[in-house]
Amino acid sequence: MITYAKFSGAPLQVKETSNPFWSPRGDLPVFTHLPVVKNVTDFNAFVSHLRMNKFSANYNLSALEVV
């Protein structure tokens, strides 16, 4: 998630922990989008959320480079 967010150009703040009890559902990693608290633990949901907010690692690629 961190790598994809960095490649997509999304602003990112990382809070490191190895304790899943700090997450809302006990899953790690957790992506939280503010100001509306939306916790995402699934990578595909994470990518979809970034795309809805106009961030994608594929935006700077041509159609040939994406394939």
Taking the whole predicted model, whether its pTM rises above 0.85 is answered as: no
In a domain, 17, yes or no: no
Report pLDDT digits (tens) over 18-29.
Answer: 777 766 667 777
In a domain, 35, yes or no: yes
Check if the beta carbon of residue 38 is closer than 8 Å to that of residue 32: yes
List the domain range (segments joined by +) for residue 1: 1-7+28-58
Q: State the Cα–Cα distance between residues 23 and 6, nearest whole angstrom.
A: 22
59 Cβ contact list (under 8 Å, min separation 6): 8, 9
In a domain, 40, yes or no: yes
In a domain, 36, yes or no: yes
**Structural domain count of the chain:** 1
Report pLDDT digits (tens) over 25-48.
Answer: 677 777 776 666 677 778 888 888
